Chain A
């Protein structure tokens, strides 16, 4: 069964460094999402992406964050200057297009630790 993959599974970085989290959505999906989950807290929406542009973003998704689909398969989340509070699990999700496409498929997540 097709699945969303994410790399790396765990990323450790120092405060102030840039990180890029990578996701490979399911191949025929056209809607892409990033969510995060701080340890012990709720899963929070960050951003959705369709047709090569951001369709919606949360207030968490400030100027330090950016997303890109650099080629036909990858979907990346960049954090320009990481802060301690960016430590979290980051989940990528994707969805096929169409009104009947109700399911978002989530990847296994990348655990980001900022020291």
Chain B
């Protein structure tokens, strides 16, 4: 599976948009970009995924560059409850294991 690179940490003010970058320059054509988050040692939680088109759901938006070598997860209006570690994961298809990296620790401050 393609390797991903994320910043170690970032802060965000409550109510503002949080933009979380992820580099996956070795992604191959059949690999999807997934985002999960983990709130303080709870089980990871699925956020969103995409192949090449931008995606939006009730939690977030996912912007994938045209060359698919990077993506950005956008939390449109961050709340204190969005404080978590966010993981960008690249893998083929929808089945199989998830390979978690270190992720980005996002801290939302009042």
Contact = CB atoms under 8 A, between A and B. Distances in A.
Contacts of A35: 98, 100
A31 B102 CA distance: 25
B1 to A, nearest CB: 11
Interface of B is mostly: loop
Contacts of A37: 41
A96 B64 CA distance: 26
Interface residues of A, number: 27
Contacts of B95: 31, 95
Interface stretch (A14-22, A38-46, A65-73, A76-84): A38-46
Contacts of A31: 95
A40 B32 CA distance: 27
Contacts, number: 51
A43 B42 CA distance: 11
Contacts of B49: 102
A109 B43 contact: yes
Interface in B60-110: 87, 93-102
A31 B93 CA distance: 15
A26 interface: no
Contacts of B99: 45
Given A91-B43, A102-B32, A109-B43, A45 B97 contact: yes
Interface string B17-52: 000000000000000101000100111111001000
B94 A100 contact: yes
Nearest to A50: B95
A79 B89 CA distance: 28
The 4 closest A-B CB pairs, nearest first, are A106-B43, A45-B97, A43-B100, A103-B46
Given A43-B44, A45-B99, A95-B95, 18 more contacts: A4-B43, A31-B95, A35-B98, A35-B100, A42-B100, A42-B102, A43-B38, A43-B87, A56-B96, A58-B97, A99-B94, A102-B46, A102-B49, A103-B46, A104-B44, A104-B46, A105-B46, A106-B44
